[in-house]
Chains A and B, each alone.
Chain A
Amino acid sequence: MQHRAFNRITSEPRSVRWIWFVYLALYAVAIPWYWPEGYIGPLVMGFPLWVATTLLAIVALAGWTAYVIHRFWRSEDEETV
């Protein structure tokens, strides 16, 4: 849709394509599809290795998201919009 208010948006994450490839890669690590069936592995800080890997990927996803919101979601005069 079109609206004059959209002219105030100078950047939005949805339209920056490469951002989403990073998300795809991080989700591919976070979802534990690549481990052998029935795998548990050694414990890392109390978590099985596959869970520790997923948690690490979620931390990376959160950090990446904070950066994307800060850098790629921009609007004119953000203090009043």
Chain B
Amino acid sequence: MGSGDIVFGPGALIAVGCYLLSMIGVGYYARTKRQADSMADFYLAGRSLGLLVLFLTLYATQYSGNTLFGYTGKTYRIGFEWTVSILFMFSIIIGYMLFAPRLVVLARAEGFITPGDYISYRFKSRALTLLSTTMMIYALCNYTLAQLKAMGAAVEGITNGAVPSAYGIVALAIIMVIYETLGGMRSVAWTDVMQGIVLLIGFALLVIIVPTQLGGGLESVVQRLREIDPSKVQVPDGQGNNTWISYVFLLGCGAAIYPQAIQRLYASRSLAVLKRSLMLMAFMPLTTTLIALVCGLTAIVVLPGLESVETDQVLARVLALVMAESTLGYWLVVVVFAAALAALMSTADSALLSISSMFTRDIYLPHIKPDSSETHLTWVGKVFSWIAVALLVAVAIGTEKTLVRLLELKFEVLIQVVPCFFFGLYWKRLSGRVALLGMAAGLVVALVLTWSGNRLPWGFHAGVLGLFINAGVCAVGTWLAPDTSEER
């Protein structure tokens, strides 16, 4: 096979094509199963998700294209120090435990659909709801952008550059938005079940084939890595440990309040189902992120010398090597490639659905057309999904930043909404005005540090330092100017 040839043959292309088209089929089936023409039915599947669907949709949504491509790329760049990814992905479950017990019962009692519904109900501040919703939409657009970029990297990498990333981005985005607008959350969650299963199979295959077939086993890979570049095997230094702590805060707090994750909390059939799903999710970093780490380590040994943006395509290049070795390897890679698409699409479709719901419910309804019917709002949400996808595809095709960099910038902003949930549900005297002030202060600190080139002062992420300021403002503000309206 020459370096410019398309690696997949007709059989594999048909298999992947059928897999993708089946998602549209699932979307159509989900549309026939809708119970009502309401926002709760479209965006939360009528609050009916059972254990299997909820667990797999949480899993497929949380483990994204970044886990496969961004994390293998990051491991390629920094080695074992990226073991922190397993710890921070686990920490998200602890984040849930800090606010979900109250949010879940409140959402059920008050009929929340978006995170903005909670903020609006709790703080009764239009400015706070608008700012936090805008920040969440920005973060999710960034997140979707990272998935779209990874789709392009996947297609370009697996074809050794013969198919440009732009074609992959456009084709997959169109499929995604079709099934999403057909059936809403029901369609997204059901496709997530398929995608989650394919993702689990894909990761199982990755851990079997990559280190053993290419690197001669994990021990051999690490021995060689120790000789080639010992800095990638050594324990992190003091500043590195600060960065580990910072990542635990950044992801543990930030990813727990992803709007699409919060909406899955709202959509569970019962608390028992939600608890069981989260108990299972606590173990998933060990079957997912750890495998991405091992694949990235193997890549350092078998594909030395890649730089910058190229490193985000390292997994695709490793798979191309496996593919070239045998027919079995070829078909294994077809399954892993399907898993990669599953990871990307399941995350992007969930983010897109959340963006659409937040625009419709938290911006369009209160600020543009307050007397809208539920049917009209659902229609507006669908139209907005198409417009958002078109804009994001255009941006994805035109930028060059690496995937993990995109992820970090998103969290710098999203994490500033954390006090509204972590404190707002427990501190009855935290007012909307103080929460808004804290959010603005945290955001300014995070952005000024990032834009002035101090992205990691003392090893801590700018967003995490912003969060500390934000939390401090909330604490001092609540003490100096407590909200007594609830008591009155």
Contact = CB atoms under 8 A, between A and B. Distances in A.
Nearest to B80: A51
A48 B241 contact: no
B86 interface: yes
A75 B271 contact: yes
A55 B290 contact: yes
A31 B249 CA distance: 13
A47 B80 CA distance: 9
B230 A81 contact: no
A39 B109 contact: no
A58 B90 contact: yes
Contact of A43 (B222, B427, B486): B222
Interface in B267-313: 270-272, 275, 278-279, 282-283, 285-286, 290
Interface in B223-267: 223, 226, 230, 233-238, 241, 244-245, 248
Contacts, number: 135
Given A31-B245, A39-B235, A1 B97 contact: no
Contacts of B83: 51, 54-55
Contact of A78 (B230, B272, B282): B272
B80 A73 contact: no
A54 B247 CA distance: 15
B6 interface: no
A66 to B, nearest CB: 4
Interface residues of B, number: 53
Contacts of A75: 101, 105, 271
Contact of B106 (A5, A23, A32): A5
Nearest to B290: A55
A75 to B, nearest CB: 5
A79 B270 contact: yes
Given A43-B222, A65-B93, A3 B109 contact: yes
Interface string B78-104: 001001001100100110011001101
Contact of A12 (B101, B108, B218): B101
A55 to B, nearest CB: 7
Contacts of A40: 226, 230, 233-235
Interface of B: 80, 83, 86-87, 90, 93-94, 97-98, 101-102, 104-106, 108-110, 122, 217-219, 221-223, 226, 230, 233-238, 241, 244-245, 248, 270-272, 275, 278-279, 282-283, 285-286, 290, 424-428, 486
Interface of A: 1-6, 8-9, 12-14, 23, 27, 30-33, 35-40, 43, 45-48, 50-51, 54-55, 58-59, 61-62, 65-66, 68-70, 73, 75, 78-81
